[in-house]
Homo-oligomer: A and B are copies of this chain.
């Protein structure tokens, strides 16, 4: 993706002013790399979260989703719309927005799955799908909500854009410039690539981690096992403390790619089971040694490069 000049915007409308949306607003307004009027309007399902965002100065104004006049006013003249609500809300949100959307407003999102979001956007926007540029900022914190929003949340983090054939090169470049203005590195891949990559390195590990705790809970000596669980268990299951609602939605939204990865993983486990049963130390050591080298190289490289972030997603 070619680089762009300094990013300017006049009005950004954010649907869902929590950690992700709030941090984008703060980054664009506080980092001083964006030019223009830089008005940010927040729209939420609950007036409490937008009121809090207003109080914190993260946004300049709010509109209620069910107030058509306010929504029309909010969207009028907007350069950008960011959807930062759970991915399952993509289609109803876009259906609600569509009637008020200016022809030159660019809509993007922050969902952690992409094929389902693209399908929802096509269903809601129809012939105007070119206005929607799918995106995924790979960033997160343990805490959520607008109070956790930070102006530097995206510094040195990755943002993946999954441009559609209908997107103009200019629209994609504008969204890329917006994320670069937050300090992020922007990458492009297809929705299918995106979903496969994150099924593998994020969604599957979450399922595997939840599954281990579930298995222990189901065993007759669960209390004894938890009592002696130590550092290995702690690291392996840290992500089993993640939001059940979010991961339920991710697993369902990305189930095609996730099942492929899960099946490939189960095949590796079956191979290891055979080696364990046969007491085949050489086969086990070969796999373990290969994994250790790859894991160590990964750790070394991410120490140096921008690419892999510390995000909790």
Check if B205 sits within 8 Å of A233, measured CB to CB.
yes
CA distance A243 to B211 in the complex (A): 25
CA distance A269 to B197 in the complex (A): 20
Contact residues of A: prevailing secondary structure: helix
Residues of B within 8 A of A292 (CB): 210, 240-244
CA distance A291 to B140 in the complex (A): 21
A56 interface hit (Cβ, 8 Å): no
Residues of B within 8 A of A310 (CB): 230-231, 234
Residues of B within 8 A of A215 (CB): 200, 261, 264-265, 268
CA distance A284 to B249 in the complex (A): 9
CA distance A214 to B269 in the complex (A): 10
CA distance A53 to B79 in the complex (A): 69
Q: How many residues belonging to A are interface residues under a CB distance threshold of 8 Å? A: 94
For A270-285 the 0/1 string (1 means CB < 8 A from B) is: 0011001101010011
A204 interface hit (Cβ, 8 Å): yes
Check if B265 sits within 8 Å of A211, measured CB to CB.
yes
For A202-239 the 0/1 string (1 means CB < 8 A from B) is: 10111111111111111101001111111111111111
Set B189, B214, B238, B295: member contacting A268, Cβ < 8 A: B214
A266 interface hit (Cβ, 8 Å): yes
Q: Given contacts A197-B225, A217-B294, A244-B285, is CB(A212)–CB(B265) below 8 Å?
A: yes
Residues of B within 8 A of A307 (CB): 227-228
8 A-B pairs closest in CB distance: A244-B288, A213-B291, A201-B229, A244-B289, A205-B236, A248-B285, A230-B311, A210-B291
